[in-house]
Amino acid sequence: MPRTRKIIIDTDPGQDDAVAILTALASDTLDVLGITAVAGNVPLALTERNSRMICELAGRADIRVFAGCDRPLRRQLVTAEEVHGRTGLDGPDLPPPGMPLQSQHAVDFIIDTIRGEAEGEVTICALGPLTNLAAAIERDRTILSRIREIVLMGGAYFEAGNVTPAAEFNIYVDPHAAAIVFACGAPVTVMPLDVTHKALTSPERIEAFRSIGNPVGDAVAKLTAFFERFDVEKYGIGGAPLHDPCVIAYLLQPELFSGRSVNVEIETSSELTMGMTVADWWRVTDRKPNAMFMNDIDDTGYFSLLTRKLALF
Ligand code: RIB
Ligand code: CA
């Protein structure tokens, strides 16, 4: 049995976040120490509620869920109900949560957990705006040398933005938080739109989820079918990019992905390009590489991995 990898999932569910969380909870090589909710796709009161509903769908009411920051560090919150629906988890009809929300603030949980675990043990899986993680770094920079890796979904370089022409949603919502994370010095691995736009749902792939024949597969088919309609209309393509599970898939099967270690800076001044991830892909500056910026995926292998994992429930 390979050694389990200890992770904290920071998230703004979100249908694609839900698939990522379910995939992690299905994997016996991942030890989910806790789930920290952040405001993003929908307000915090819904992202923390959705996080608990997803855990209970997985039969994991034992997982500790924490509420974190309800707004970005400096900017007003921007949400995405047009993509995810009013609840953020539209699609299946899931029961309201019965499990409790933890009373500790998510930022304190992140700090305490990283300090409490052995050095280099904890991986942060960031699936939404980086507000919680940036707040933890700002409050206690000693955690930086103790983090094994930060794996985040966010940004775009060869792909245009999905919330402005220049910016991807997670980075755009809190560009100041993103700037802190990309400059923090801990190992950062990025799953940008350059990767996720190559990981598209399709009727066959959604049917494969439904054909699993368990409640999780049925819910995931409904989640992805709901999530897909917005991008199909917006981009005129056959399916929707299944963004966030790329973060978990990378931990489970890194060979599905390829990219390059480059410098990434975040635009935090110009409103025109606010939240842009300026990746020095061709190393035309002397800026030090600070991120493994992924730009390709074996999408067939990716969906096969997700389907295999979700069938384990
Ligand atoms: O741009 C895609 C990202 O924004 C995903 O994490 C999605 O869940 C939303 O948070
Ligand atoms: Ca998300």
Q: In this predicted structure, what is the pLDDT of residue 282?
A: 98
Q: How many CB atoms lie within 10 A of CB 180?
A: 20
* CB-ligand 1 contact for 16 (6 Å cutoff): yes
Q: In this predicted structure, what is the pLDDT of residue 168?
A: 98
Q: Out of 84, 105, 197, 243, pick the active-site residue.
A: 243
Q: In this predicted structure, what is the pLDDT of residue 2?
A: 58
Q: What is the DSSP letter of 144?
A: G
243 is catalytic: yes
* CB-ligand 1 contact for 168 (6 Å cutoff): yes
> Percent of the chain beyond pLDDT 70?
99
Burial class (CB in 10 A: 0-12, 13-18, 19+), 194: buried
Q: Are 263 and 288 in contact (CB under 8 A)?
A: yes
pLDDT band at residue 200 under the 50/70/90 scheme: very high
Sign, CA dihedral 200-255-290-67, equals positive
The per-residue pLDDT for range 246-270, each reduced to its tens digit, is: 999 999 999 999 999 999 999 999 9
The per-residue pLDDT for range 41-99, each reduced to its tens digit, is: 999 999 999 999 999 999 999 999 999 999 999 999 999 998 899 999 999 999 999 99
Lookup result for tokens 């942060």? 124
What is the 128 CA–ligand 2 centroid distance (Å)? Answer: 4
What is the 286 CA–ligand 2 centroid distance (Å)? Answer: 32
Nearest to 262 by CA among 241, 244, 280, 240: 280
Ligand 1 atom at minimal distance to the Cα of residue 41: 10
Q: In this predicted structure, what is the pLDDT of residue 285?
A: 98
∠ CA 295-186-259, rounded to 5°: 15
How far is Cα 254 from Cα 169, in angstroms, rounded to an integer? 24
CA distances to 33, 127, 161 from 169, rounded to whole Å, are 26, 11, 8
The per-residue pLDDT for range 132-166, each reduced to its tens digit, is: 999 999 999 999 999 999 999 999 999 999 999 99
pLDDT band at residue 237 under the 50/70/90 scheme: confident
How far is Cα 135 from Cα 123, in angstroms, rounded to an integer? 17
* CB-ligand 1 contact for 174 (6 Å cutoff): no
* pTM of the entire predicted model: 0.98
Q: pLDDT at residue 308 above 80?
A: yes
What value does the mean pLDDT take over residues 159-184?
A: 98
Q: What is the DSSP letter of 187?
A: -
Which ligand places an atom closest to the C-alpha of 242? 1
